[in-house]
Structure 1
Amino acid sequence: MAYDDGNVFARILRGEIPCARVYEDADTIAFMDAGQVNPGHVIVATTHPCATILDLTDDQAAALFRTAARVARAVEAAFAPAGITILQANRPAGWQTVPHVHLHVLPRHADDGVGLTWPRKEPGLPALHELAARIRVE
């Protein structure tokens, strides 16, 4: 997925679109999601022009998650939700709707209507070992 500098988050970063800012530093920005799923729903985005998590350096990824953790603690203090979901999606097939890497910090409550389901497959340990062998983290 190529980076599109006309995306809504890039426009927010350039000051072309207003936002309700929660936090900002050299690497990240956090602002209220305009489509609040629950009160306190915050977007945490990189200030760097990266489309997906695959485009981030390790330092940028660390900064993004560090800010998400700080924001989650602030959401916890402000709203006392029953839980918090941190969601990060990449590419349209992965549910990404804005081509600028970001995380959702979503306060959760019982029966809030938010759903995330996937069909569990349990291939067994030998197959898991085969799958793991295909992944090399360097």
Structure 2
Amino acid sequence: MSTESDCPFCGIVAGTIPSTKVYEDDKTFAFMDIAPASDGHLLVVPKAHAKNLLEIPAEDLAAVAQTGQRLAQRIMATLDADGVNLINSCGEAAWQTVFHFHLHVIPRYAGRDGLTLPWVPTPGDADAIAATGARLASD
């Protein structure tokens, strides 16, 4: 398993940095977020270091997604949450602050958690959307 000596999440997986572990299997490790957005907010990481979504091996990504789903189900049943967000930030411009791939599992409590969308969904320019879609489809 690859690790980075200065990566806090590698330290958590290795047990050299304390955490509140929620789940562990051969590929993933899940622990409570120390700066939670809501009650029950946790993180799922691959045990092997990968900087971000662009670098994580597909097998580890699938394992993190499966663990995220399992824990989302547990959150809904155990914490009586009304919903759950699964969030990954890839790159500094996308709010990534720890450069070890991680999936936020954030319980949502309708009208009780104070969280809002980070953007206001509004209809976009249909021609621009189609042009961008065509560029992405051709690559």
Q: 1:136 Cα shift?
A: 4.5
How far the C-alpha of 1:106 sits from its partner, in A, is: 0.7
Task: Give the gaps of 5 or more residues in structure 1.
Answer: none
What root-mean-square deviation, in Å, do the aligned CA atoms of Structure 1 and Structure 2 show?
Answer: 2.1
1:1-138 matched pairs, under 5 angstroms:
5-109=5-109, 110-119=111-120, 120=122, 122-124=124-126, 126-136=127-137
The answer to whether the 8 A contact 1:50-1:56 is kept is yes
User: In 1, Cα distance between the equivalents of 2:135 and 2:98?
Assistant: 30
Query: CA deviation digits over 1:94-137, x for unaligned, max 9?
Result: 0111111101111111241222222545110x432321222249
Question: Residue 45 of structure 1: SS of its match in structure 2?
Answer: strand
Partner SS, residue 53 of structure 1: coil
1:84 to partner: Cα distance: 0.9
- State which drifts further: 56-65 or 127-136: 127-136
C-alpha distance in structure 2 between counterparts of 1:26 and 1:54, whole Å: 22
Deviation at 1:4, TM superposition (A): 5.2
Deviations 1:22-77 (A, max 9, x none): 11112211111122322211111111111111101222211111110001001111
TM-score, with structure 1 as normaliser? 0.87
Shift of 1:20: 1.2
User: Aligned equivalents of 1:7 and 1:70: distance in 2?
Assistant: 25
Deviation of the 1:81 alpha carbon: 0.8
In structure 1, how many angstroms separate the alpha carbons of the residues matched to 2:117 and 2:98? 19
Q: Give 5+ residue unaligned stretches, structure 2.
A: none
Question: Following the alignment from structure 1 to structure 2, what is the Cα–Cα distance between the partners of residues 136 and 117?
Answer: 27
Worse-superposed segment, 35-44 or 59-68: 35-44
**Structure-2 separation of matches of 1:94 and 1:108:** 21
Report sequence identity in percent: 33
Distance 1:8 1:113 in 2: 28
Q: 1:129 to 1:59 in 2, by over 3 A?
A: same
State the one-letter code of the partner of 2:56. L
